Amino acid sequence: MNIQKPVNSVLNLIGNTPLLEVTNIDTGPCKLFLKLESQNPGGSIKDRPAKYMIEDAEKNGKLFRGGLIIEATAGNTGIGLALIALLRGYKCLIVVPDKMAKEKIIHLEALGAEVIITRSDVEKGHPEYYADLAQSIADKNKGSLYINQFGNQANLNAHFEWTGPEILHQLSNKVDAFCAGVGTGGTITGVGKALKKINKNCDIILADPVGSILEPTFKTGIIPDHVGSWLVEGIGEDYIPPLLDLKIITHAYAISDKEAIDTCHLILKKEGVLAGSSSGTLISAAIKYCKEQNRPKNVVTLVCDTGNKYLKIYDKNWLVENKYN
């Protein structure tokens, strides 16, 4: 029996998340493992880079007690930052697009963060695009720190030095493929490089919402001039994030919102895991990859966050009204 000893801070509970083998869903010849990042204290994988980015800023003298942390986020990085800020004596201001789940905003405000909601129908470069707005607010607040997860190397390092090695340790270095989405690119690049350091033939699979430019860019080498829209939160982009190394990716799948939601229901009914909408995208892509293989492989993907933040996708009435049933 693996019984964890007491810790003296909730921040010490970040990481060391379980790996669950899928046993009740057809995964072809492969074994599919779910890394349950939903079990982090803030409820998502983003607790890891939040911790790394704040500690990096402290170490480099960019952040002092009582200072203001500013970030643009789909919510989960903001929750990780707000949790750490609360416990370490910082103020926190979070900018989120208006399509984000209400549960995330309530969580952020409960942690003491100031939340600014901006438009989700504008692209990078527009003053109301969430990252541009966060940067402009930081520029006006002297002494504040714009964390900028999209360009912050500590984000990538959290996954290269921590998440990736943790997965390798759990599977005795036997990892043949890893599937992730892209918000900042930190997870897929960081974990991918850590896994390829041990197994250079490890496949790195991009799971992308239909409408995002990343999967078509990978497939064709051409960045589309049209960006679609999608319901899934936190992954999919209208540009190539600076932390994303497209060269590391070997496979890519475009997953519709309906496929993602259906997969969330499947994982709950078959494996008992309540997952968020982006996890549905990842798991759907991972299952497709597994079924295409002709030999056994250990494949890992993420339950990026808990479905408690997206209960509408489990609401029968909402599903009928929005034609996802």
DSSP letter assigned to residue 5: P
CA atoms 179, 155, 17, 256: torsion sign? negative
- Both tokens of residue 199? 């197994």
Checking DSSP bridges between strand 91-97 and strand 114-118, what pairing results, if any?
parallel
196 CB contacts (<8 Å, ≥6 apart)? 202, 204, 248
- Is 124 an active-site residue? no
Query: Side chain identity at 21, as an amino acid letter?
Result: E
Question: Exactly one of 31, 35, 46, 297 is catalytic; which is it?
Answer: 46
State the DSSP H helix or E strand holding residue 215, giving kind and residue range, or none if neither.
helix 214-220
The maximal CA–CA distance of the chain, rounded, in angstroms, is: 57
284: nearest Cα among 235, 244, 221, 238: 235
215 CB contacts (<8 Å, ≥6 apart)? 206, 208, 252, 253, 254
- Both tokens of residue 63? 């952040």
d(CA 11, CA 8): 9
Q: Which residues are catalytic?
A: 46
